[in-house]
Amino acid sequence: MAFDFILMLTAEDRTIPDARTRLDEALEAGARHIGFKDVGLPFDRLKELADAIRASGGRSYLEVVSLDEESELASARAAVELEVDCLLGGTRAETVTAITRQHPIRYYPFPGRVTGHPSVLEGTADEIVAAARRLADLEHVHGLDLLAYRFAGDVPALMRQVCAAVDKPVVMAGSIDSEARVTETAAAGAAGFTVGTAALAGSFPAEEGGFVSQVRAILAITTRARAQSIAPRRLALAAHDTRKPHLRAWVTRHAARLEGHRLICTGGTGRMIQAAVPGLTVHRLQRGARGGDQQLGALIATGELDGVVFFADPTIAHGGDADLQALTRLAILHDTPVALSPTAADMLASSLLAERRGVLR
């Protein structure tokens, strides 16, 4: 996630009755990450909602409502049946992952001690950070959902501590109702944030009234806040053999921007980049001819890449042309930006990557 706004079609811990109409408005406004809860509407209407999000090219989220075990497990089963992309919240990770681990759902439980309705985050910052580390160590936990603004202490400090303590993405949830709070979450290293009731209530300043304008205003705030984001991006890098020198030059030129981010490369490309700029964080996959491009495609499909740079040579035929076509198709399907040339890659770097010198993770 590249610091994304997740719109929750919920109020008072329930999916709103007119969620399907609001979804159409949200899509008109440009929202791409949209969630709901498994209570408030009959299951068939929730299924219609989840299917509509997927058909629009969006990413769907189900948020756990209750903290008792029976309700939490019911939410996990609903997430499986509804085939949502992400399950947010809950406190029983070991039990929930027994349900979700055989499915493509990405799971983001709550760290810390969560009580009451509306939920509050209790305990000290150290206790919450320790809980975050324990959860992030679980194989089938893919990120964390931190109820940051439901914490009574120093919220910006807590967000920074949790984001620095784990290598998995952290989404901030609960009572985010102003541009200042959105900017604080970005500056702390969050991968995204949720807004539900505040958007429905029109809490954010917008050019005009109405839900569409409200969602557009939050998206604009998200774009501004993204410039302050210190969350490490996950960027795939690959190139045809005749374009590898171009990619090496591009990486060298953007070394400061790439520092602190996570570069995922097909085998030969990764070796070249490690040699050119040893200080960068590079994770090497298989060589392209041995399945590296398919590995990149799998990472796109599971939402684990924020962007792809693939320097392609259109002047000669390549055995991997079908792989590049498949990779591009998946990127379109999962709304992942792709740059196929140096100029496009420059634009991707300017919009997605911030220089992170002096940032500790």
Residue 35 in tokens = 């969630």
* C-alpha span between 230 and 124 (Å, rounded): 24
Q: Which regions of 139-233 does DSSP assign to beta strands (E)? A: 144-146, 170-172, 192-195
* C-alpha span between 219 and 142 (Å, rounded): 24
Q: Of 293, 321, 323, 335, which is the active-site residue?
A: 293
DSSP 151: B
Of 83, 37, 41, nearest to 59 by C-alpha is 83
321 is catalytic: no
Of 222, 233, 235, 246, nearest to 331 by C-alpha is 235
* C-alpha span between 22 and 16 (Å, rounded): 9
DSSP 207: S
Residue 52 in tokens = 């509509």
Helix (H, G, I), strand (E, B) or coil at 131: helix
DSSP 262: E
Residue 152 in tokens = 């009574």
> What amino acid is encoded at 291 in this protein?
G
144 phi, psi to nearest 5 deg = -130, 150
Report yes or no: 344 and 215 within 8 Å, Cβ to Cβ. no
Beta-carbon contacts of residue 189 (< 8 Å; ≥ 6 apart):
159, 160, 163, 164, 170, 229, 230, 231, 361
* C-alpha span between 65 and 72 (Å, rounded): 7
Which residues participate in catalysis according to the annotation? Answer: 293
